[in-house]
Structure formats: structure tokens, C-alpha cells
Amino acid sequence: MNHQLAQFSTATLHEALGKAGNLPSAIKPIAPGMKICGPAYTVQTIPGDNKLLHRAYAYAQPGDVLVAHCSDYYEAGYWGDLMSLGAKTKGLAGLVIDACVRDADDIEAMGFPVFSRGLCIKGTSSIEGGRLNEPVVIGGVVVHPGDIIVGDRDGVVVVPKNRVQEVVEKATARETREESIREQLRQGKTSIQIYGWE
């Protein structure tokens, strides 16, 4: 979490990107306090299969965030406590998966950040099909390997690796503006007065 984007909320980064980069709103942390920030290591699985996810955490580098698209098949628990322990031990920063996971209590207890569409107890196959570390598309957003993934309670945003500095500058400017608005609200002004809408 030492990346310079970690200081900003996902909503601020989404706005700084020009209202872009947001993954589907259904993808949320499995526990409210979980946050994630790091370069993407991308995974494309075949429906209901998780063998490639085992490879992904073995091959990814410390600090990486696994980003998995599971071919729009959600009725399986693709990831659980054992994989979380393995990934955490390797130093991975977390998992963002466009599908479901299981063993939520154990994963939460070990403090490994997992963002998913939900929880599902159904097991997976281990046929192994798909691709590793190539671009994936989740909810219309293209995620390239190395793009910076930021997640918090509100959701997940993808910051293209070649736009990080620009986004930091825009996010900083936005936060400065919002602090000025907060000060005016504390003084009793309403938001419609501040925005000149009345």
C-alpha cells in the first residue's frame, strides 16, 4: 500500500480519471475495512475453473494485485482461505475477482484483501484454461498488466500505468477543492448555495 495512489479514495480517482476506470459496483471488499493498491497481475479463467488462479499467485510478484475475470460465471467459489494464505505469504497485495469466493471469515481474519462479487460455497474444477498476465476486460474496463488497482469500501478503480502522475495531480486538486467546500458547509452554507444552483 505504499503506492502514491493509495492516499486517495476510489471515488476521487474515478473522478480524476474523467469519470472512468470503475469496475462493476457489485465488486466490493468481503470485509468493510479492506483496502487494496498495487499493480495488476491479470488472470482470465474459464467458467467455474480456478487452477489458473493457483498459478497466478505463484507467479505474481510481491505487491501485485491479482485481477481475475472468470468468463461471467459467478456461481462458484473460485478463491478461498488456503489460496489467500499462500498469496499473503508471498507478499501479494490482494485479489480483485469478477466472481465469487468462499471462506470469508478465515480470509478476513488473516487480513488478506479480497474484492469480489460475493460469496459462493460451490467448488470449482481444475481443468485449467485461460490466460495469465494479458489484458482482461471487466465491466467494459480494460485492465492491462501493471495498471494500478485501487480498492476501498466503495469499490475498485483501475488507473492506467501511463496516467498515474496525471491522476495524482488531478486527485490532489480535487481534494483541495472539496476541503474548501467542507469549510463553507461548516460555516452554514448549503451545497446549492456553494454550487450556485439557487
**Backbone φ, ψ for residue 155 (5° rounding):** 150, -155
Which amino acid is it at 98?
D
pLDDT at position 8 is: 98
Q: Output the known binding site for Mg(2+).
A: 103
Rounded Cα distance between 190 and 43, Å, is 46
Fold of domain 2-167: Glucose Oxidase; domain 1 (3.50.30)
pLDDT at position 92 is: 98
3-class secondary structure for the chain?
CCCHHHHCCHHHHHHHCCCCCECCCCCEECCCCCCEEEEEEEEEECCCECHHHHHHHHHCCCCCEEEEECCCCCCCECCCHHHHHHHHHHCCCEEEEECEECCHHHHHHHCCCEEECEECCCCCECCCCEEECCCEEECCEEECCCCEEEEECCEEEEECHHHHHHHHHHHHHHHHHHHHHHHHHHCCCCHHHHCCCC
Q: Output the known binding site for substrate.
A: 80-83, 102
What tens-digit pLDDT sequence spans the chain (198 residues)? 458 999 999 999 999 999 999 999 999 999 999 999 999 999 999 999 999 999 999 999 999 999 999 999 999 999 999 999 999 999 999 999 999 999 999 999 999 999 999 999 999 999 999 999 999 999 999 999 999 999 999 999 999 999 999 999 999 999 999 999 999 999 999 999 999 998
Q: Is the pTM of this model over 0.85?
A: yes
Q: Output the known binding site.
A: 80-83, 102-103
pLDDT at position 2 is: 54
Cell numbers found for residue 176: 483541495
Residues β-bridged to residue 116 = 28
- Residue bearing cell 446549492: 192
Decide: 127 and 49 in contact? Cβ < 8 Å: yes
